Amino acid sequence: AQTVTQSQPEMSVQEAETVTLSCTYDTSESDYYLFWYKQPPSRQMILVIRQEAYKQQNATENRFSVNFQKAAKSFSLKISDSQLGDAAMYFCAYRSYNQGGKLIFGQGTELSVKP
C-alpha cells in the first residue's frame, strides 16, 4: 500500500521570503501522480501543483515549484515570495496511475506567513 508522509506539522515564513514544505512517499509503482493541495480556513481544497512521475522536469506554477526526486521518493513544494494569502494547510497527495483515482494524503503542514 502506498503511504505519504509530511514530517513538518507546522512551518512559518516571513512575507516575501521562500519556504519549502517536505513530502516523502512510499510506493512500488513506477507510474503515478503527485499533488500539492492547499486548504485555507474555508475548508475548500485547492490544487496548487501536480507532477506526473514519468516527467523528469519539475512542475512550476507561478510562485510555486516542486523538487521531485523519484529515486528518493521525495516531492517538496517551494513557495517563493510568500504572501499572506499563502497561509493555509498544505497537503501532499499521491495517486496511482492505473488503480483508480483515489488520492492518498499526507498528514498536512500548516503554513503561517508573518507580515
Partner 1 sequence: GAGVSQSPSNKVTEKGKDVELRCDPISGHTALYWYRQSLGQGLEFLIYFQGNSAPDKSGLPSDRFSAERTGGSVSTLTIQRTQQEDSAVYLCASSLDSGGYTQYFGPGTRLTVL
**Binding stretches for partner 1 (CB under 8 A):** 33, 35, 37, 42-47, 50, 52, 91, 97, 100-108
CB 7 within 8 A of CB 108: no
Closer to partner 1 by CB, 74 or 96: give it. Answer: 96
Closer to partner 1 by CB, 7 or 107: give it. Answer: 107
**115 three-class SS:** coil
Cβ 105 to partner 1 shortest distance, Å: 4
Handedness of CA 59, 36, 110, 75 (dihedral sign): negative
All cell numbers assigned to 102? 483515489
Closer to partner 1 by CB, 83 or 107: give it. Answer: 107
